[in-house]
Amino acid sequence: MELTATSNARSICRETSHTDCQKVIMPVRDALDVISGKWKLPIIIAVSSGHKRFRDIERSIPRITSKVLSKELKDLETHKLVKRTVYDSQPVSVEYTLTPYADTLNSVIDALHRWGLQHRKKILGR
């Protein structure tokens, strides 16, 4: 295992070279690219909540446009977080579902959620 439970990115960076430091930043930026942006999380949560059809997802997320939804769903599919299934019915219908892999994001979302909660209190005052 490359990282023990007690190690962390910053302590690594304090102790090692600049190029190793880059090796820490890169995975973090990879992860951020997948979940940051205005719509990724709302979409993940909408699909997770049982909204499977394109219009269904669209209606469940206030102020999103079809263009943005279309693009973000493609991104999420590329990252194997969302599965797109086309059914040959009349008319054809498309279903979006989360992959099992999407569950691996839970630890990340939890960490962000917890930190964000206390940070809001800290910055805005109690």
Contacts 24+ apart (CB under 8 A), 48-52: 48/98, 48/102, 52/95, 52/96, 52/97
| Spatial separation of the C-alpha atoms in residues 106 and 44, rounded to whole Å | 11
Nearer of residues 7 and 22 to DNA, judged by Cβ:
22
- Chain positions contacting DNA, by CB under 7 A: 37-39, 53-56, 63-68, 70-71, 73, 84, 91-95
- Chain positions contacting its own copies, by CB under 8 A: 2-3, 8-10, 13-14, 18, 21, 24-32, 34-36, 38, 41-42, 44-45, 48-50, 60, 78-80, 101, 103-120, 122-123
